[in-house]
Amino acid sequence: MKKLYLSALLATAAFGSLLPAVEADDHDVEYAMAIHGGAGTITRANLTAEQEQAYKDKLTEALEAGRKVLKEGGDSTTAVIAAIQVMEESPLFNSGKGAVYTWDGEHELDASLMEGLNGNAGAVAGVKTVKSPIELAREVMEESVHVMLSGEGAEQFSRQQGLEQVENSYFNTEHRYQQLQNAKETIKKSEQPEQQAWEYLDLDYKYGTVGAVAVDKNGLLSAGTSTGGMTAKRYGRIGDSPIIGAGTWADNDSCAVSATGHGEYFIRFHVAADICSRVKYKGLSVSEAGDEVIHGVLEQAGGTGGVIIIDAEGNIAMPFNTEGMYRGYIKGEGDAHIAIYNEDE
């Protein structure tokens, strides 16, 4: 496998200038992985030193869980799931244990998974009692004839597959509950109807997701994404995270992508697949393709968020157009690299 390069961690002109690429060590790497824990209004002013360290520690733990699988010769799909499950089990992220609340005070979780070898994919939406949505996405991919299952049907399938079930209250956290109350107060004070008023909530109410992309020792790509969705969401709203092509995509002939952001825009502009199509058909690098879509197509449409991208050669890009994105990568047995703010390398 060729040398791994970390692309410039791009930020919009409003938030910062182009950062230099980080070159890999002078030896080829056998495998690589990148992860994200959501994008948004993430600044040093909004995080204490203790909170910042907690995020860095958990992101490192997730990378190391994925690395262990890859180092031992495991496939990229298993590595992606291992990394995501670490974040699903942490209250720091909007997935699994830390999922946001719906308007009705519950949690509805979404996840998707895709393999680059043959386009196999699985996704779940609106599940309430499955401890690990990303694990259920794999079961849908491997053990059903479908690509996406939702709601009670997905939960029934998960029980048939013997996956761990939990009460919906398992996903409760105090800070997410307070976030729901604040969102409701903001909406109720608005003179606009609820659906219009919701548009004026801060970005941090609107999204938060975890994801991973990886290439294994056989050069096979996989991508996965898991989320609790948007704070105060109603009417069974589903975002981009479980939508193959919008929030997750993998193709060995181009790249693998996991997205985080304002899901409606990622769905409308087919963001994950669009990036890989530009690699495949225009011959762009993952960095160039990610830049065109995140800082071009998406931003011009008013969409905010970011992606992590990896190709079969191990090249990685992590562009975003928000103030920060929890993110990291590993290459072979090298050090884990973690970043949060737009000025981080």
Catalytic site residues?
209
Question: Is 223 exposed, middle or buried (CB count within 10 Å of its CB: 0-12, 13-18, 19+)?
Answer: buried
**Residue 260 assigned to a binding site:** yes
**Residue 238 assigned to a binding site:** yes
**Residue 261 assigned to a binding site:** yes
* Strands ordered across the beta sheet of 256-261: 22-23, 5-6, 316-317, 305-310, 256-261, 248-250
**Residue 239 assigned to a binding site:** yes
Amino acid at 61: E
Interhelix angle 76-88/49-71, rounded to 10 degrees, is: 150
Q: Could you tell me which of 17, 218, 214 has the C-alpha nearest to residue 113?
A: 214
**Residue 153 assigned to a binding site:** no
Q: Which helix (H) or strand (E) holds 49?
A: helix 49-71
- Report the distance separating Cα 194 and Cα 344, nearest Å: 37
- Report the distance separating Cα 323 and Cα 168, nearest Å: 32
- Report the distance separating Cα 7 and Cα 345, nearest Å: 10
**Residue 240 assigned to a binding site:** yes
Q: Which residues are annotated as a binding site for substrate?
A: 237-240, 260-263
